[in-house]
Structure 1
Amino acid sequence: MRHPYFHQGGHDDCCSIEHNHVKETTKQVQDTSLTSPYKEYIPSIISFVLLMIGLSLDHFVKPDFFKSYVRLTWYLIAYLPVAWSVILTGLKLIRKGEVFTEFFLMTVATLGAFYIGEYPEGVAVMLFYSVGELFQGAAVKRAKGNIKALLDVRPDSATVIRNDVATIVHPEKVGVGEIISLKPGEKVPLDGTIIDGYSSFNTAALTGESKPKTIRAAETVLAGMINIDRAVMVRVTKKFTESSLARILDMVQNASARKAQTELFIRKFAKIYTPIVVYLALAVIFLPYFFVSDYVFNDWLYRGLIFLVISCPCALVISIPLGYFGGIGAASRNGILFKGSNYLDQVTKLTTVVMDKTGTLTKGVFNVQEVISANGDKQKLINYAAALESHSTHPAAKAIISYANGSVQSASLKAMNVQEIAGHGLKGEVNGSVVLAGNAKLLAKHAIAYPKELDAVVDTVVAVAIDGNYAGYFTIADELKEDAQQAVKDLHNAGVKELVMLSGDKSSVVQKVIKTLGIEKGFGDLLPEGKVQKVEEIKSDRSKVVAFVGDGINDAPVLALSDVGIAMGGLGSGAAIETADVVIQTDHPSKIATAINIGKATQRIVWQNIGLAMGIKIIVLILGAGGVASMWEAVFADVGVALLAILNAIRIQRMKF
């Protein structure tokens, strides 16, 4: 079965380890949730009661009375409630060509026990196997709670304002550009922007953060947030099926498409392992005939049946996917989305983490520090630059616009024919003049002379030229995120050997930031293709496993190129969430180390389960073949190992990271 949040699919065909088992278990959990929550336990309870009565009669009643067909009939009645579905499932799978499954093993073992007269043991094997299945279902159902919680944040109605009338409709019926009303306590049904005013929103369902976030006019609200303060009006910017929440749900529900190598190995292993143990059981039964003088068929058949019972790889087949399932669930509670269990493994191998600067380690909230005019007309410089930058969403552009709006002599100018020159800046016409605004490379590209002092400024510089003449520049500064320094420290503690910063910002700014944070290397003045080139250079060393962390649409090529692409604050970036392998739903870089630690904890639990299951099974297999262990001990060992492995697998869901 699988993670609900991520519906990773599931498996439980213990022995063929295909998706059948988990699908069966998932279906069972879903079906029982629609009826009585205890209905699935009734067959096991009936069998248990009848088994206990049968054992009591065996012990207390005269042999002649309870040693005939009455005894066989009694135990058959006790056997059928738990065995019927197992036998039918086994027959269906055999018709599909899947012979060596857990259902086949359990059916052969228990019917064999009945054949040699060990009726109570035959019932007990099937009963405890069924109980184990119930525990597996309960474990998966418990894990599904995280996903159910996410699915529950999907609103099923929206209050849309049409012709000044408020109408409640399904979110799918609301179009882009329409206005919806949000009252305190209501879930946001669609992505949009607040028209006016402000309110506080609970974002926990999306980010895992309990602290409310205040969102103001013109800022974005996302589907799944909860309005907790005051009524606001929101203009819808995305269709219901294109919202950030819808993309996340789609991502997690398809997480099962990418399996960890350990899971893939266990699937292949079970397909080979199960037929082998069946043939070994046959060897245990028949080979002694040629070597043992006092060979008794029923005695060796009993040993072979014990071999079959203990050999069922249920503990491995369910606990390993459940372990990864739990890891993905634990990550989701911490605001981290893994697109597949293979990335839980991959993050544990990271040797190098390459990070963007703006929006990843810095807040991306720029403020103008200084305005230097070349000709003394400072206000013209501000007005022309602001008009041009109004066509950009870059943080530096927003800083200039904000600064211009606060100017006493702010003029309302319009820019026309605006072109964005990637990695350089903007070009356009303002009030009949050709205006350039960007970095020094933009001026050099257009052969415009500028003072060398620009190159010496540490902070980010936006240089401006009007009609081919240098007009001045703005200095703009960003600030580090509160947890940026801790993030670097935690990454080193998590085993990452090398941290590298890549940025389109000027090299002097990058060097200042890496020195402050303790990052090993930093490169500035990079165009998007320059970032790709740097990552390719790093990856040329085959011993390195490289992650790239970024937050913008320009980072998509590097996210795709890296071994593990990590999108920071990916809720707001469609390109990031589509391209990345791991999405940090908050803007906290410290979550990167958390993701690595969750991956390591998941891996430890998975290997603990493999060692536990294989170790105990090998011991009991040897004891069973040697006639030391009985079928009672075999079934308790099998069910016990499975339950221990399951409990260990779900333990990760209680861990704090």
Structure 2
Amino acid sequence: MAHSNELNQQSKWRVYLPAAVSFILLSAGLVLDHLLPYTFYNDYVRLAWYIVAYLPVGLPVLKESAELIGAKDFFNEFSLMSIATLGAFAIGEYPEGVAVMLFYSVGELFQASAVNKAKRNIKSLLDIRPDFATVLRDGKYLTVSPEEVRVGEKIQVKPGERIPLDGVLHLSQSSFNTSALTGESKPRRIREGEDVLAGMINLDNAIELHVTKLYSDSSLAKILDMVQHASARKAKTELLIRRFARIYTPLVFFLALSLTLLPYFIVSDYVFADWLYRALVFLVISCPCALVISVPLGYFGGIGAASKNGILFKGANFLDLMTHVNTVVMDKTGTLTHGVFKVQHVSAVNNDTKQLTAMAAAIESFSNHPIAKAITSYAGEKDPQFAAHNVMEVPGYGLQGELNGMILLAGNAKLLKKYDIAYDPIVDEIVDTIVLIAYNDQYMGYITIADEEKEDAAQAIREMKKFGIQNTIMLSGDKSAITEKLAQKLGVTAAYGDLLPEEKVRHLEELKANTANCIAFVGDGINDAPSLALSDVGIAMGGMGSDAAIEVADVVIQTDQPSKISTAISIAKYTKSIVIQNIIFAISIKLIILLLGAFGYASMWGAVFADVGVALLAILNSVRVLSKRF
């Protein structure tokens, strides 16, 4: 049961038509068997009728069987079905022969439908990534698909839009959110002639860039290719079933042959037709369709369910591996945090935090630094009463300017010490990035800024622990004090800061030295790629993640939500349970009816149930994962 094809929307009727015709003719034949007199509806007419009913569903299988035999593959499910159904015709069991092939085809349609549903779910993931480019042609900007843009063409990207293709910046400059590429939360200023990469987000100005790579070389095309080939990477259980079928199929051929011929030497009232019928029943029952199809379909259903939840598994083998993960190692910036600075706290000496924020925003509005942008964004619309003048940067310290003729300072503690301005000693104990404000030689207060954790970060750690993952580790290039503070807040088991990419790899190697550890690493930037490759399961944050991280990773979380890690584990465990259910169900039912068939207690209709019925039930069980809510 493996020759199922994708159901194209425009040609669905052509796919369903053969089964529909065969079903109508079979049903009509069964009615005619009981209603019409033999003189009119004799054996020849009856045989012709059932041959016509058989051909729409039987010909494709017979053709596939012939091609495989021509390729010296004699023992396969197509040969089994062909011999069993043709044998049924040979001994006059025409309806059974048609029914076996008809239900076989219906099973394929179920399988094709299930596979297509899973593929649609997977491909729908890609809709959240950039799907258009604004290209300059004949003096006009046109919105086109990225596939249509050629190398050397000029495209425009507005503020807030993600760069759809790699290129070089032209006649402009802007700030870009590059956290997906570098792991750093600070936006990067890129000027004319410098490279801009797909995945960066333009923050400031409308920009133009010359395209340097085709769409086919972009992360989008690579991910789509990964989706289309995800099912090629088999799980261990799936590979085991395939190997089992290669041994099992020729074995049942010879057992069926023995069941036909051996009784001649043992049974006194031997009737060839009776034992041939039993052998044919045995062949139909023994067809490994339910196992060969339902097991990979179970995994494919899991891949589809994951995609529906914004998670891309690049192969069934990673679904299997995910069920064994007991250690999760995570990057901080962009994985557990948003990767952007935000104001956390405002403390004013005179308790007027609104005034302090307005004063800070007045001077910080002259800077493009991400800390300055965080403060001006927090302050909102500029207050005309607070208009700073003669603002200048004091390198390594902060900003100095004038407000109403008085000196206004905004910077670190070193800036206030430079001007001999006393400040609250508590400032030195604060872990977050801090901006101190002084006006007219008086300390006014401070503003703390930090890279804010994602809303579901703490939930992610809690849920992982529910799945028995007690070992959660955070590795970050950020300073240790900030990393440890976040780890303590989220409930992470251990945290290490001030790490270079190679130092993250060293930590992973130490963990892998313990063979009991099955490690998942979660990251989003180019700097995380070595760790993603080294781990047992590499998980990339794909919504904002770098091309390198997405390509190296085994699992991609398109929504950038860390809580999806536990969702991925849940889907993997549920999928594995369905696969095991299918294996136990298929083998147990087949063994029972095989024994009944060998002793003559099961008919061809029982064989149809044991083969196609079990396959259909296993397929329906497999697609349950697609409708389950995780």
| Common fold by TM > 0.5 | yes
2:85/2:101 contact within 8 Å kept? yes
Instruction: Tell me the equivalent position of 2:538.
Output: 565
Tell me, yes or no, if structure 1 residue 360 matches structure 2 residue 335: yes
Instruction: Tell me the equivalent position of 1:509.
Output: 482
Instruction: Tell me the equivalent position of 2:4.
Output: 25
Note the 1:216-255 alignment, pairs <5 A: 239=213, 240-255=215-230
Instruction: Tell me the equivalent position of 1:324.
Output: 299
CA drift of 1:87 comes to 1.0
2:589 to 616, 619, 624: 616
Which deviations, in whole Å up to 9, do the C-alpha atoms of 1:71-121 show, x marking residues without a partner? 222222222222122111111110011111221111111111122122222
State the alpha-carbon separation in 1 of the partners of residues 432 and 448 from structure 2: 6
Tell me, yes or no, if structure 1 residue 399 matches structure 2 residue 371: yes
Which deviations, in whole Å up to 9, do the C-alpha atoms of 1:552-590 show, x marking residues without a partner? 221111111111111124544122112111111223211
CA drift of 1:284 comes to 1.5
Instruction: Tell me the equivalent position of 1:96.
Output: 71
1:459 to 431, 449, 452: 431
Q: 1:190 to 1:81 in 2, by over 3 A?
A: same
SS in 2 for 1:647: helix
State the alpha-carbon separation in 2 of the partners of residues 639 and 272 from structure 1: 21
1:274/1:312 contact within 8 Å kept? yes
CA drift of 1:623 comes to 0.8
State the alpha-carbon separation in 2 of the partners of residues 152 and 521 from structure 1: 36
Note the 1:93-242 alignment, pairs <5 A: 93-147=68-122, 149=124, 158-162=133-137, 164-167=139-142, 171=146, 172-175=148-151, 178-180=154-156, 239=213, 240-242=215-217
Q: 1:524 to 1:168 in 2, by over 3 A?
A: closer
Q: 1:176 to 1:626 in 2, by over 3 A?
A: same
CA drift of 1:270 comes to 1.1
Instruction: Tell me the equivalent position of 1:581.
Output: 554
Which deviations, in whole Å up to 9, do the C-alpha atoms of 1:512-560 show, x marking residues without a partner? 2222222222222322222111111111111110111122221111111
Which deviations, in whole Å up to 9, do the C-alpha atoms of 1:268-311 show, x marking residues without a partner? 11111111111111121122222212111111111110011111
2:542/2:557 contact within 8 Å kept? yes
Instruction: Tell me the equivalent position of 1:444.
Output: none
Amino acid at match of 1:543: A
Instruction: Tell me the equivalent position of 1:606.
Output: 579
SS in 2 for 1:597: helix
2:298/2:578 contact within 8 Å kept? yes
Q: 1:158 to 1:556 in 2, by over 3 A?
A: closer
Note the 1:34-113 alignment, pairs <5 A: 34-35=10-11, 37-113=12-88
Instruction: Tell me the equivalent position of 1:267.
Output: 242
RMSD: 4.1
Amino acid at match of 1:399: I
Amino acid at match of 1:647: L
1:320/1:609 contact within 8 Å kept? yes
Q: 1:641 to 1:196 in 2, by over 3 A?
A: farther
SS in 2 for 1:541: coil
Mean CA deviation greater in 329-338 or 591-600: 329-338
SS in 1 for 2:538: strand
State the alpha-carbon separation in 2 of the partners of residues 454 and 558 from structure 1: 38
Which deviations, in whole Å up to 9, do the C-alpha atoms of 1:138-172 show, x marking residues without a partner? 22233333245457789987542357423466533
Mean CA deviation greater in 159-168 or 325-334: 159-168
Please, what TM-score do these two structures have when normalized by structure 2?
0.76
2:474/2:487 contact within 8 Å kept? yes
Unaligned runs of 5+ in 1: 1-13, 15-20, 199-214, 226-230, 371-381, 391-396, 416-452, 463-473
Instruction: Tell me the equivalent position of 1:205.
Output: none
Q: 1:616 to 1:410 in 2, by over 3 A?
A: farther
1:83/1:126 contact within 8 Å kept? yes
1:339 to 271, 289, 314: 314
SS in 2 for 1:365: strand
CA drift of 1:485 comes to 1.0
Instruction: Tell me the equivalent position of 1:484.
Output: 457
Tell me, yes or no, if structure 1 residue 593 matches structure 2 residue 569: no
Q: 1:177 to 1:362 in 2, by over 3 A?
A: farther
Please, what TM-score do these two structures have when normalized by structure 1?
0.73
Note the 1:382-393 alignment, pairs <5 A: none
Tell me, yes or no, if structure 1 residue 296 matches structure 2 residue 275: no
SS in 2 for 1:66: coil
Aligned length: 539
Amino acid at match of 1:253: Q
